[in-house]
Structure formats: C-alpha cells, structure tokens
A and B are shown apart, each in its own frame.
Chain A
C-alpha cells in the first residue's frame, strides 16, 4: 500500500467521518445516510478527482429519494491505494467486487467527472449490473480535435476557477485550503492517483467503440458552460451510448460549470432522482 494516511480536511462543515467496508481485502471508505438507507433503489455515486471526504448537499438531496452510497476510490479520501491499482481495468474489477460486498445485484450508477469515466468502464464490462447510468460532466472519451485542458500542468489555484467558471470564491467549503499543509498533501496524493490512472493516455481510446455494450438507459448531465470538458464530448457521449439523453443543469444566478453538483445541488438531484424513478417505474 502507498503511504496515504490522509488527514481529514475537518474545516469544511460538510466533512463527515466515513464508514468502511471490506472489498476483497481493501478497506473502502464510503458514506451512506438518509431515510432511504437500505430501502430505496440502490444508487452508487462515483466521485471525481477531488471533493472527497465530504457529505455534499447534493448527496443529502439524493439520499432523500434513493439508497445513496458514495464510496471513495482507491487512493482518494480515506481509501488506501493498493499497489495493484495500475489502471481502469483494476478499478472495474474493484467496483464489481464493491457491488458484491454491498450485495447490490443491480444499481443506478452515477459518475461525476473522473467517476463518470470509471462508471462507463464498469458499464461496458458488466452491463448486467446497471439499472441506469448517469454521467455528470464525464471525462475519458477521446474526441479528436477537442482535447481537455491539461489539469496536470496548471497553476493549482486555477483549477477551482475552472470548475466553477471563475467563481471559486463562492464555494469555499468545497475547496482544499492551499495554506493547510495536510490539505495540500491530500490534494497532491489524490492527483497522484489520478495521474497513475490517466497521465498517459488521458482518455480511453477504445471507450467510444465499447460504449455500445451498455444496455441500460443513460442520462448525460451538462452545465451551462464546462471549461474543462468541451461541448463536443457531451454530444459524443449521447451519440455513442445506445439509449442516452442529454439534460442541462442551469445556474440560478450564474452559469453552471464543471462542478454543477456543488453549484446547483437541488436542481441536479431533482433531475437525477426523476430519471432514476422513471427507470424504476418502467422496469
């Protein structure tokens, strides 16, 4: 195991202590609260390359409607990084094992950003385990001519601005404090896991062809203006997934960006729970 003894950010009012579940020997940190716990339709949320260790307002809204489980990826938040995690194939097997560990036969799978990439890979290899797939501002596709900006070679202070379209100051509770050594170390550790997975290549060239294997209905969620994922990527996801529709979460006061679940938690949760309930009603 790598040396990821992460400290809790603590300072955010949204911090909660995680629960743990043993997944094939790996102690996975996860969060699961709300009145639907153990009862509503099982829904697994895969986070992006950050915003870990928190119980987000978006999660709280989701948990009112579904049985909402938010595990942390190996090498993120409170889940250690085992040395066998080298690529997305390892994560696909890991998340299949996690579904087994929770005894979820089928789940509504939601992936945000990097989590969207992982969710799509899981759906490609184990389509029978998905009741529905929701991809919020996902990365991972190669769309020729429309590469993403290089997150790995960017002044760190620019990244929040890019996620929230220049309004990072509105969301201090969701950002790591750059003056807090442990917070910076945590951010660097998670970025290192992200690099391990996606430094080169920064997409899965084969994903475009393989997305056709996903059988369930899919929802792709876009913001008003994503400064990280070019518009053409959203169009490509919807075109390549066999049964997908595109919905936008609009900003009430300002245009939403890549971090739309933080910016508009009510609207995002309402949209996604409606989609999940439609699938439940239909099946």
Chain B
C-alpha cells in the first residue's frame, strides 16, 4: 500500500515539468516573434490577404440558421458512421446479437433523419419546408 502511494506521488512531477515546458514554449514563441517580428503600418497591412485581390464587403453576414442544422446533422451522422465502422470491424465476433443491436441503432438514426427531412431541416437555402409552414418565428 505504502509503496503504491509513494509511486503515485512521485509520478506527478513529470506532469508539472511538462506543464512548465508548455508554458515556457508558448512564452518563448510569443517573445521571440515580438522581438524579431516587423512592425510597420501601411495602408493594406491590416487587410486580409486574398490572393492579391482587394477584398470586398464584410465577412460578417447573417447566415441562415439552417446552416447550423446541417452542421448538427453532419455531426450526428458522422458519429453514427464511427459506430458502424467499429461494429463492422467486429462483425463476426458480435454475431446476430450485435447485428440486431446495430440495426436498432441505425433504425433510430434513420427515424431521426426521416423526421429532420419532413420538418424541412435539410433545406439549406430557402428557409423552411412545407411542413413548417406559417407561424411562430414571425410573431
């Protein structure tokens, strides 16, 4: 018991050293670039570089919220793919029980996709689907 605890406490110092190294590295990078970096202020210094073309307009435009829905959708089904691939790797070992489980899992995901399609979440442009027609947000 005692040796075990002693072992655990001694194991902590590499972590402290590591944290110190990380801080030192970050500090060094910032300091060196501050010392060596150029400091000049021309007309186009602050402009974003877009392959030599003068930028037009602002990058901060309102995006349709549906974009975020699609992003969320992507995450959901991306994670589904992760599980499917893991199961595929253990296809034979998992057997019929594993098959039933993955079918249930994919079925629930499919039901979710069906729902999202019907409420119009898949329409990136043009707002809401026919199902969502007419109310709530405008009030």
A and B from one assembly? no
| B-to-A contact residues, CB < 8 Å | none
